[in-house]
Chains A and B, each alone.
Chain A
Amino acid sequence: MSIIPNWLHRLSSPKNFYRFAGIASNWCGWIALVLIIAGLYYGLVDSPPDYQQGDSARIMYVHVPAAWMSMFVYVVMASSAAVGMIWRIKASSAFANASAPVGAMFTALALLTGMLWGKPMWGTYWVWDARLTSELILLFLYLGYMALNSAIEDRETAARATAILALVGVVNIPIIHYSVEWWNTLHQGATVTKLDKPSIHISMLIPLLLMAFAFKFYYLSNVFRRARCELLEREQGKLWVRELVGGERGE
């Protein structure tokens, strides 16, 4: 009958999602920690300095994963907001709202580490070229999403408005990705995410991928925590929250 499978339907009830999110957050957090430690070792100690950029290339192991995450989180946020709007699933809207600050954090991190890499390599912290500008617009999209969400009192209206904003902003994602091909920019082209073989040596690819997966699990761990807060806040009066709080006090 329904296009939503049964287990997913059950999971989407706020009470079950709250419990699931807690367990998932802890597991993802531990996985992220292990991957970060391994990534830091291979990135800072084991991998060789770049033959052109020397040790400054090690900035790549935070810059590139953060930049990938800034786009990945946006797509997840927009899809989740759309699902929440269309099927009126609170947990899905909560997941989208929870994604926004994490995505903004990764975007800011990508921009700042990019500036710190740009200064020694290009001789400047900032240029208004296509890649940097479109990434800055991404940061404003996240901040706009958060501002809009907190400005609207009614949750249903807020979910609809933010979902539309997020969906319109998706146009920016391919622009960021292809900006280095469509326009002449200072920023280098893709070396990993292209169709033929990646043009990066394995000794640098390993820490890069470790950090990329670490950031992904960090995001999951973080977003599940935040989604729990979202749900608690908007369901305060509901029976399951009262039972939860009462239970924690040992009543």
Chain B
Amino acid sequence: MVSDFFHMGGYAFYVWTSYALATVFMLFSWIQPRLRERRLLRDIARRLKRGER
């Protein structure tokens, strides 16, 4: 049942930590280039506006 599911046959700590790590790592890696691209586009636009290059 539901509590059995979270209990994972006594291996809850190991199983859920593994899945939590995977989630955190993959979310972080997903969001990082999106923020970087937004920052890059903004910086380039600002520099263009100032008439550099």
Pairwise interchain contact B37-A225, C-beta atoms closer than 8 A: yes
Pairwise interchain contact A55-B22, C-beta atoms closer than 8 A: no
Q: Which residues of chain A are within 8 angstroms of B15 by Cβ–Cβ distance?
A: 55-56, 58-59
CA distance A101 to B31 in the complex (A): 13
B4 and chain A: residue at smallest CB distance: A55
Pairwise interchain contact B25-A120, C-beta atoms closer than 8 A: no
B29 and chain A: residue at smallest CB distance: A105
Pairwise interchain contact A102-B41, C-beta atoms closer than 8 A: no
Q: Which residues of chain B are within 8 angstroms of A218 by Cβ–Cβ distance?
A: 26, 30
Q: Which of B8, B22, B33, B48 is the one whose CB lies under 8 Å from A229?
A: B33
Asked whether A246 and B48 contact (CB < 8 A) given A58-B15, A237-B53, the answer is yes
Pairwise interchain contact A113-B22, C-beta atoms closer than 8 A: yes
CA distance A244 to B32 in the complex (A): 21
Chain A 57-77: CB-based contact to B (< 8 A → 1; otherwise 0): 011001100100000000000
Q: Which residues of chain B are within 8 angstroms of A155 by Cβ–Cβ distance?
A: none
Q: Which residues of chain A are within 8 angstroms of B17 by Cβ–Cβ distance?
A: 116
**A233 is an interface residue with CB less than 8 A from chain B:** yes
Asked whether A108 and B48 contact (CB < 8 A) given A62-B19, A229-B33, A232-B40, the answer is no
A242 and chain B: residue at smallest CB distance: B48
Q: Is the interface of A mostly helix, strand, loop or mixed?
A: helix
Interface size class of A (residues with CB under 8 A): 35 or more
Q: Is the interface of B mostly helix, strand, loop or mixed?
A: helix
Q: Which of B21, B30, B34, B41 is the one whose CB lies under 8 Å from A245?
A: B41
Pairwise interchain contact B33-A249, C-beta atoms closer than 8 A: no
Pairwise interchain contact A241-B34, C-beta atoms closer than 8 A: no
Q: Which of A54, A237, A248 is the one whose CB lies under 8 Å from B10?
A: A54
Q: Which of B5, B18, B37, B47 is the one whose CB lies under 8 Å from A62?
A: B18
**A86 is an interface residue with CB less than 8 A from chain B:** no
Q: Which residues of chain B are within 8 angstroms of A169 by Cβ–Cβ distance?
A: none
**With A49-B9, A56-B8, A237-B53 already in contact, 16 other A-B pairs whose C-beta atoms are closer than 8 Å:** A54-B10, A56-B11, A56-B14, A56-B15, A62-B19, A62-B22, A98-B33, A101-B32, A102-B29, A112-B21, A120-B11, A222-B33, A226-B33, A228-B33, A228-B37, A242-B48
Interface residues of B (CB under 8 A from A): 5, 8-11, 14-15, 17-19, 21-22, 25-26, 29-30, 32-34, 36-37, 40-41, 44-45, 47-48, 53
Interface residues of A (CB under 8 A from B): 44-45, 49, 54-56, 58-59, 62-63, 66, 98, 101-102, 105, 108-109, 112-113, 116-117, 119-120, 218, 221-222, 225-226, 228-229, 232-233, 236-237, 241-242, 244-246, 248-249
Q: Which 3 residue pairs are nearest across A and B when measured between Cβ atoms?
A: A55-B9, A225-B33, A56-B11
